[in-house]
Structure 1
Amino acid sequence: MENQNDPLEPVIAARLKLLREQSGLTLDGLATASGVSRAMISRIERGEASPTASLLARICAALGLSLSQFFAEGEAPPSPLVKRSDQPTWKDPETGYVRRAISPPRMGSDVDIVEVSLPASARVSFPPHPASKGMTQYVWLFEGVLHMTLGEQTYRLEQGDCLFMPVGEGHIFHNPSDSPARYAVVLDQRKRI
């Protein structure tokens, strides 16, 4: 979890603390809501640790945010166009998973589009989380091979395949190949319960 070379680490630290405080949550409150330890949240807020994708997703869900909303800067005025050079990119320090937020932030849409590059043999697990229950997403594979595990069912995706799935029940992204997998995640945050 240590990642002293990540230029986003201080941004993540400051953003997490700001969003937690704006939500009126204490460290203990966010820890309880997210299932992430108080000590880890504190270390992330101080810039002493970089969260994994799974850990950050749990924190964001507890704050009522998607990962894209978390990385969206709140100071620039909303624009329907976001240039590639302005799309926030983040790398998971544990798996090498690289995530780029495609959607223009703060447009009032319930849909987020994210591009992900998952290194060869990498696996990213998103455990079940009540705050995400009822949300859905599409996973559209552009390059490589991807195994998606939802509960007991594993789906093999190849180039061009698209999988529709619930989010809150937990899932695993796994690249079983020896080359990167590149895919889009289209997340619909409207809750269908």
Structure 2
Amino acid sequence: MTRNSPPDVGQKIKALRTAEKLTLDGLARMSGVSKSMLSQIERGLTNPTLGTLWSLTQSLGIDIASLLDDGAGETPGGPEIKLTKAYETPEIQSADGRCTLRILGPIDLVSKTEWYDMRLEAGGILESEGHASGTMEHLTVLDGALSVRVGTSVQEIEAGDSARYQADVPHFIENKGQNPARALMLVLAP
């Protein structure tokens, strides 16, 4: 919906009616709005008057304001839940193929916030050039152990530990162990 276009109340009314398991005839009887008028409103063929909206919203148990808002993040049943199935989650691999990053964060936040499910095979290393100035990484090891190197600083991290470090300089995450390791990594840009 553009800023100057009216809200699609017809579709919202239809969704609410369907969620309540009401037929056109049932809502028409409850609201006093004719079945043909209701059908035209739902199909977007006519704009209802304020009085008609009042009758419909009272019958559906909602207020007019909720019907007229743009509904961002809302569905007739409550807040919207967006699901990404496991098979839809994108992955990237390190050059050596020993590190897999499942991209958990939404693509629209990538310039500010990124988070990953990281799996590092034994001997695997993730080398990163410095990110934007002020960027920090937060790494929590879930299984195994990892080593983080930033400049001359090195920190060993075991399962359950979290490390927070500057990521605007070259940094390395390595699995020096004999078993695979898994971690969650959060990258926050300023």
Give the TM-score of the pair, scaled to structure 1.
0.52
Distance 1:187 1:90 in 2: 15
Q: Give the 3 Å change call, closer, same or farther, for CA 108–94 of structure 1 in structure 2.
A: closer
Could you tell me whether the CA contact under 8 Å between 1:82 and 1:104 is conserved in 2?
Answer: no
Q: Which of structures 1 and 2 has the bigger CA Rg? A: 2
After TM superposition, list the pairs within 5 Å mapping 1:13-162 onto structure 2: 80-106=82-108, 110-127=112-129, 129=130, 132-162=132-162
SS of 2:149's equivalent in the other structure is: strand
Q: Deviations over 1:1-22 (max 9, x none)?
A: xxxxxxxxxxxxxxxxxxxxxx
Contact 2:96-2:124 at 8 Å conserved across structures: no
The structure-2 alpha-carbon separation of the partners of 1:176 and 1:140, relative to structure 1 and needing over 3 Å to count, comes to same
Note the C-alpha offset of 1:108: 8.0
| Unaligned residue ranges in structure 1 (runs of 5+) | 1-78
3-state SS, counterpart of residue 108 of structure 2 = coil
Is 1:165 aligned with 2:165?
yes
Q: Partners in 1 of 2:108 and 2:115 — Cα distance? A: 13
Q: Is the 8 A contact 1:95 1:123 kept in 2?
A: no
Structure 1 pair 85–134 and aligned structure 2 pair: CA distance change class (3 A): same
Amino acid at match of 1:97: C
Unaligned residue ranges in structure 2 (runs of 5+): 1-80
Fraction of identical pairs, as percent: 18
Moved over 3 A (4+): none
- Return the letter of the residue paired with 1:119: E
Whole-angstrom distance in 2 between the partners of 1:135 and 1:109: 10
Q: Aligned Cα RMSD in Å?
A: 2.1
**Take 1:89 and 1:122, find their aligned partners in 2: how far apart are those partners?**
16
Distance 1:153 1:92 in 2: 22
Q: Indicate conservation of the 8 Å contact 1:142/1:182, yes or no.
A: yes
Counterpart for residue 178 of structure 1 = 178
- Aligned equivalents of 2:82, 2:155: Cα separation in 1: 34
> Shift of the alpha carbon at 1:156?
0.6
- Return closer, same or farther for 1:169/1:109 CA change in 2, 3 Å cut-off: closer
Residue 168 (structure 1) shift? 1.1
* Corresponding letter in the other structure for 2:99: Y
- Report the TM-score, using the length of structure 2 for normalisation: 0.53
- Residue 99 of structure 1 deviates from its aligned partner by 0.9
1:34-53 per-residue CA deviation (whole Å, 9 max, x = no partner) reads: xxxxxxxxxxxxxxxxxxxx
- Cα distance change of structure 1 residues 120 and 108 upon mapping to structure 2, 3 Å threshold: closer
**Partner SS, residue 107 of structure 2:** coil
Shift of 1:125: 1.9
